Amino acid sequence: QVQLVESGGGLVHPGGSLRLSCVASGFSLDYYAIAWFRQVPGEEREGVACFSPSDGTTHYADSVKGRFTISRDSAKNPHYLQMTSLTPEDTAVYYCATNINRANWCGLQGDEYPYWGQGTQVTVSS
């Protein structure tokens, strides 16, 4: 059974940093992408970053390039989203997602991912 569990959200001041974690289980961690998305109530979900473990490929949304880094522990779990230089516009619920039906790939479109975690709230405020 595919499970994704996020943690690490919280309240941070503008300019601060936060690291989110996603523990994945129930599928091979060698072939299937892990992606991070975020959503603000009333707005569309935004793909933030993704990681393909087969070749280490990563993709980032333009809004977070240079500030966010997706990675994973050397033990292949957990997966991380390191966020720096945070602004109030980064406030959202952050989710990790995977697609075990598609190997050797990662993308930032939410409808490409059938499996999701429960989300973790990130609030950037002074």
5-51: pLDDT as tens digits: 999 999 999 999 999 999 999 999 999 999 999 999 999 999 999 99
Q: Look at residue 75 and tell me whether its pLDDT is greater than 90.
A: no
Cα–chain center distance at 50: 7
The encoded tokens of residue 42 equal: 């009333």
pLDDT of residue 87: 98
pLDDT of residue 110: 93
pLDDT of residue 100: 95
What is the distance in angstroms between the CA of the first residue and the CA of the last residue of the chain?
A: 40
Tell me the percentage of the chain whose pLDDT exceeds 70: 100
Return the SS3 of 36: strand
The encoded tokens of residue 87 equal: 């602004």
